[in-house]
Amino acid sequence: MYKWYRNSEECYVYLADVKPLLVHRRVEYEGDLILNPRIREKFLASLWFRRGWTLQELLAPRTITFYDADWRELGDKHQLYGLIMEATGIHHTYLVAEPYRCHLPYGQGGPSAAQKMSWVAKRETSRSEDMAYCLLGLFGINIPLLYGEGGRKAFIRLQTEIINKQEDESILAWEQPYSTSVPYGILAPHPRYFKYCGDIIPVFNRSEPRYWITNRGLALRVPASVFSYLGDGVDNTVWIPLHCKEEFPQGLEKVFRIRIMLVENICYRVKKWRRRLQDPHEIEHQEDNETKTIYFPLDSVFVGNSELFSDENEEDLRYFKLMLSHNSTTAALENMSLVR
């Protein structure tokens, strides 16, 4: 479908919810329609910018013309790119300057994985699986469409295929939604976890892969020196630097990190990533030649469709950590009825 839109000569977008008001039996605007503040407000609030499948309809075509509910022309994508940027958070480079790059990997001149995910983070689809499937063309990959598997599983499959086909560590730079220590897998459960990742790009500073998919989950090669600061008991956590940076940094460059809980060489993500000013300690870790390979489960620790731990119930979390610190991971999960 993405290729079909990309090969089109011209596309038309009918915004059924952008309706002009009648003032004394006359349409309230004339001339340059989009300059009217009421129409601008309706344009920005249109549901067309909140639907998952319309993302590829916006990015793939070379020319798009927008019309309101009365089929009055509002302008094309080039004329309205400022408003479209405001409505979608997509940089003008990928909207109008070089839209043909949108489906390319970052290493070939396209946007990063985190940036693409952020574009769909605020969108919705009727079927939960389509939150993953509507991104296939944008990433230039294919996976089977398995309706009924659930949105989370579909999104995990999508990320797994992206990791298999593209080198882009920004896919690991998603943000957990709350400042809590709930254990997560290494991959995001939903695109909304990339909501604030629109400025993150990867840094390629190694000749060999740093992470890959295995039958044990995702293997990640990290600096061995970070484990010299590993805590004891229930505080068995460390910070792992990511090879990512801001595309347009404000002031000093920052370091992206994730906090993990290590249990018998299997890791769980327990803190959201942070941005922090660089210091010699961080840089030393990133340049460490001695490495250690650790493994993460791909999916989050969930029971059904709800998270295991609520933000308020830290007692369950402390019990979970205590179990993992004294038992094998499998035994701990079985005792807590987490193994499906």
Q: What is the pLDDT of residues 203-222, one digit of tens each?
A: 886 667 788 999 989 998 88
Q: What is the mean pLDDT of residues 228-249?
A: 74
Type of residue numbered 145: L
Q: What is the pLDDT of residue 333?
A: 39
Is 229's pLDDT higher than 90?
Answer: no
Q: State the pLDDT confidence band at 316, using cuts at 50, 70 and 90.
A: very low
pLDDT tops 90 at residue 158 = yes
Q: What is the pLDDT of residue 144?
A: 96
Residue 302 has pLDDT above 70, yes or no: no
Cα distances (Å, whole numbers) of residue 131 to 53, 190, 317: 8, 8, 30
At residue 247, the pLDDT reads 87
pLDDT tops 50 at residue 288: yes
Cα–Cα distance for residue pair 162/136, rounded to 1 Å: 9
Predicted local confidence at residue 340, as pLDDT: 27
Mean pLDDT within 281-303? 66
In the block, residue with structure tokens 């890959």:
212
* Distance set, CA 134 to CA 79, 84, 116, 126, 276 (Å): 26, 19, 11, 12, 33
Is residue 107 scored above 60 in pLDDT? yes
pLDDT band at 280 (very low <50, low <70, confident <90, very high): very low
Residue 334 in this model has a pLDDT that exceeds 50: no
- 13 contact partners, CB below 8 Å, separation of at least 6: 48, 57, 64, 65, 66, 67
Choose between 30 and 261: higher pLDDT. Answer: 261
Show Cβ contacts of residue 44 under 8 Å, excluding neighbours closer than 6 positions.
83, 86, 87
Question: Which of 77-86, 258-267, 278-287 is most confident?
Answer: 77-86
- Is the pLDDT at 95 greater than 70? The verdict is yes
| pLDDT band (50, 70, 90) for residue 249 | confident
Inter-helix orientation angle 37-44/81-88, to 10°: 50
Q: What is the mean pLDDT of the chain?
A: 78
Residue 246 contacts residue 200 (beta carbons within 8 Å): yes
pTM score: 0.81
* Segment 237-242 mean pLDDT: 83
Range from 44-58, 100-114, 145-159 carrying the lowest mean pLDDT: 100-114
The CA-based dihedral angle spanning residues 88, 92, 98, 103, taken in that order and rounded to the nearest 10 degrees: -20
Q: In what order do the strands lie in the sheet with 254-263?
A: 211-214, 217-223, 291-296, 266-277, 254-263, 237-242
Mean pLDDT over residues 60-77, rounded? 90
Q: Could you tell me which residue, 58 or 223, shows the higher pLDDT?
A: 58
SS3 of the chain: the string is CHHHHHCCCCEEEECCCCCCCEECCEECCCCCHHHCHHHHHHHHCCHHHHECCHHHHHHCCCCEEEECCCCCEEEECCCCHHHHHHHHCCCHHHHHHCHHHCCCCHHHCCCCHHHHHHHHCCCECCCCCHHHHCCHHHHCCCCCCCCCCCHHHHHHHHHHHHHHHCCCHHHHCCCCCCCCCCCECCCCCCHHHHCCCCCEEECCCCCCCCEEEECCEEEEEEEHHHHHHCCCHHHCEEEEEECEEECCCCCCCEEEEEEEEEECCEEEEEEEEEEEECCHHHHHHHCCCCEEEEEECCCCCEECCEECCCCCCHHHHHHHHHHHHHCCHHHHHHHCCCCC
pLDDT tens sequence across 167-200: 999 999 998 765 555 678 899 999 999 999 999 9
